[in-house]
Amino acid sequence: MSKILTQLSTNHALKCFSSIVVFPQKISSKFKQINISPRFKLTAVIVVVSPVSLFITTLAVLHLLPGSVAYSYDKSFNCITAPTLFPEFIKSGTVSSFKSFSTKDVTLLGYPLYSHSTCFAAKAPVNEKHSEKVNFSYFGNSFLKKSVTLQTDLFPVLSYAHIKKGPLSTKDPIEFKLSTNDQTFSYQLESEEKTAKCENKNQSLFCDVSPLEFKQSENYNIKLSRFFNDKNVNQIFESVITTVAPVEIVSTSIGNGSTVLDKPSSLTLELNKKAVSVDEVVLVQIGDVETNIPVSSEITDQGIKIIFEEELAREAAFKMTVDSITAEDKGFLPNPYTLEFTTSGGPKVNSVNIGTYGISQSQSFIVSFDQTLKDADYNSLVDVRLGAQSIPALVTAKNNQLTIKPKENLPFCASFSININGNIENPHGVSRSVKWSYNSRTICHTISIIGYSVLGRAIYAYRFGNGPSKVIFVGGTHGTEGNTKWLLDSWINELEAKAPNISATRTIIVIPNVNPDGYASGTRTNANNIDLNRNFPANNWKSGVKMPTGEYLENGGGVQALSEPESSALASFILSENPRMVLTYHSQASLVVANESGDSISAANTYGSSSNYTSLTNSQLGSTFDYDTTGAFEDWLHDKYDIPALLVELATTTSNEFNRNKNAMWAMVNLP
């Protein structure tokens, strides 16, 4: 009893109770008035019983007083003072939104005897500004029924002012502020059909966005909804948010995949935003065994500086990885960053500006290195040699090149070598011991002009060797047979490349383009419309000729033999050289025709078997061509001088057929 009173007096219901304490006195005096002496015994019993009944009555009255509760969302349950004996017997009436329960303030062996308060908790989503009467009574009877009216207010309101402006981190929770704390509802964030629960404390919602799987630098539509248990009560916020941009490495002091020529002591990564942390920076030297290079890192205004704690090995490959970088705005590296580089050795020769033959006697040699050279005097490191003889040369260095200029012209058709031998440094002090040697040969042919065309074009002769026995190759007699010129151009290069193979007893002369006007204009004849190969004073020369087209040219063979500057120049040249063998090239009939002088027939057979062109004699040729072949060059050589000559007809007019002819041509060079 005293315990109950103590408890009662400790809460706000005390006032209510105090106002009723007068009431038992009134009841007791009423009893006294009613029950004077005849029923004294009964009265006495009542008087004895009255303190208990008085208390029970009081409780009953207290219990029956209707109550009201201003429902607070901030509490998980709301209570009202409702002194109740044997609360177990109290049954709630039909209640839609709230469940009620009694507190267990006095118990006997765990059985509740007395409850001081009745509490209410929402059991369904309640509405705003809603009033609901809850009835309950002993055993569910309407007798001794108590009514409590629950009144809800507006739901807790989201405070928009507190929502963070600007791009959001994809990792940090999104925080919302509520007008009051809320223990009635739960909150959930939704984006792209993914949901995230929000923790609700201290008037704030902390929504862990990790289940939403936000990516950086994206826009997302997010919705915040209020839930009661699993039921969506209402959506209270919707907005498009932008996530922060990822950390990007904008540039690096050492390029990815680059070769480092200097001796760097650090590597800087320039970022798109200010970093606040960097983790797991690892530098390894790649190789059969990976070696960790100790590094430290520091955050700078522009990015991150990675300091190498020891000097990097040269001609080695390195790989650096940075696992994570976090920026001030919580943006981060989406993936670990990897950068690979190699360190160079000292300068190494890359190339030289000359080939291995045909070099001008006054040529300067430029040797290029893979990197810039230290500004130094290289004269003592470079040696140009003709056999054992050292040739004085001036050596200058610029950028990555050494220019080597012999002080005097080199000899004709001479083998020489360029030698670099010594320690060469780059401007950063990285050096290499260079032992480099290059063999080449100066030009082995001379060029002369044997005459000029009608239109003044020079007719060139290329001369290799200086032996007394001469073999002359002639091409381009007909301007429409340009592939004969191309063949002889290739042949000139072949002879230059293999000049040492030419016998000392032999001279090779190549006249690749006898008819330069015809070649330039694409005509068979020269600029005077004369077929040069009908203009030589062979026994059968005549002026009027039938052309391969069937056309008859009145003066196609010239008004007289050797009337043309081209044929005249060629004839004079041939006679002055007195060759051992002459070859002229035409196209296209796939033939080798001997002019039947000297060993021309066996030479034609040799040529034919090597080139797979059909070998014939002039006599065998007979009337193969259904046009005039009078005044031909080879016939002139045969008729007037008995100089062996071959007419080679290539198989096409489009290809130089060099590979097909090469061995046969060498066979002619090597004729006895």
CA gap 170, 163 in Å, rounded? 15
The 3-class secondary structure across 65-128, one letter per residue, is CCEEEECCCCCCCEEEEEEEECHHHEEECCCCCEEEEECCCEEECCEEEEEEEEEEEECCCCCC
The least distance separating Zn ion from the CB of residue 562, rounded to whole angstroms, comes to 18
The least distance separating Zn ion from the CB of residue 523, rounded to whole angstroms, comes to 12
Q: Near Zn ion by CB under 5 A, which window of 288-296, 407-415, 502-510, 580-588?
A: 580-588
Sheet hosting strand 291-293, strand order edge to edge: 258-260, 337-343, 317-327, 275-286, 291-293
- Contact between residue 381 and residue 411 where contact means Cβ atoms under 8 Å apart: no
The least distance separating Zn ion from the CB of residue 452, rounded to whole angstroms, comes to 21
The least distance separating Zn ion from the CB of residue 627, rounded to whole angstroms, comes to 11
The least distance separating Zn ion from the CB of residue 668, rounded to whole angstroms, comes to 19
Single residue of 463, 586, 638, 660 touching Zn ion by CB under 5 A? 586
478 touches Zn ion by CB under 5 A: yes
Output the residue with the shortest Cβ distance to Zn ion: 586
7-26 binders of Zn ion (CB under 5 A): none
The residues pairing with 228 across neighbouring beta strands, listed in sequence order, are 231
The least distance separating Zn ion from the CB of residue 493, rounded to whole angstroms, comes to 23
Kind and range of the H or E element at 60?
helix 40-64
534 touches Zn ion by CB under 5 A: no
Show the binding pattern over residues 237-276: x = contacts Zn ion (CB under 5 A), - = does not: ----------------------------------------
How large is the C-alpha radius of gyration of the chain? 57
# chain residues binding Zn ion, by CB under 5 A: 3
**Closer CB to Zn ion, residue 146 or residue 478?**
478
- State which amino acid sits at residue 73: Y
**Closer CB to Zn ion, residue 113 or residue 547?**
547
The 10 Å Cβ neighbour count of residue 198 is 22
**Closer CB to Zn ion, residue 246 or residue 518?**
518
**Closer CB to Zn ion, residue 118 or residue 483?**
483
347's CB contacts (< 8 A; 6+ apart) are 369, 370, 371, 372, 373, 400, 424, 425, 426, 432, 434
587-616 binders of Zn ion (CB under 5 A): none
**Closer CB to Zn ion, residue 174 or residue 648?**
648
The least distance separating Zn ion from the CB of residue 534, rounded to whole angstroms, comes to 10
485 touches Zn ion by CB under 5 A: no
**Closer CB to Zn ion, residue 463 or residue 586?**
586
**Closer CB to Zn ion, residue 534 or residue 586?**
586
The least distance separating Zn ion from the CB of residue 533, rounded to whole angstroms, comes to 6
Sheet hosting strand 393-398, strand order edge to edge: 349-352, 365-369, 401-406, 393-398
Residues 484, 486, 488: CA angle, nearest 5 degrees: 70
CA gap 575, 643 in Å, rounded? 10
**Closer CB to Zn ion, residue 158 or residue 637?**
637
Contact positions vs Zn ion (CB under 5 A):
478, 481, 586
